[in-house]
Structure 1
Amino acid sequence: MKNLSLVIMAALVFTLSSCSAIAGIFKAGAAVGIIAVLVVIFIIIWIISMFRGRS
């Protein structure tokens, strides 16, 4: 009976830690995605301002 509870406890620990790791990856992915979108918008604005400055 001790071995069964130890196995269940170990399974819970591994399951909970992997969920938090996946949540951290998704949070980092969202932050990187937002930064990438902002960089693309700034590049587009910069290119448009270059063309407006020439004419």
Structure 2
Amino acid sequence: MRKYSALAIVALLATTLSSCELVEGIFKAGVWSGVIIVVIVLALIIWLVSKVFGGGKS
């Protein structure tokens, strides 16, 4: 039954949205998710390196 409901949702989206709008929305979400993940990972790496090497403590 779930297979048919998922198929119905996909069919509804396919008829209500043009393919270009659908692909554009997916890529926008993907790009921003990627940017946020990269920024978080870089901040974590910088924080870890500063902890390992003392963070400027003499």
- Report the TM-score when normalising by structure 1: 0.65
Alignment of 1:1-55 (within 5 A): 2-38=18-54
More helix by share: 1
Q: Which of 1 and 2 has greater Rg?
A: 1
CA RMSD of aligned residues (A): 2.3
Q: Which runs of 5+ in 2 are unaligned?
A: 1-16
Greater RCO (Cα-Cα under 8 Å, separation 6 or more): 2
- Report the TM-score when normalising by structure 2: 0.62
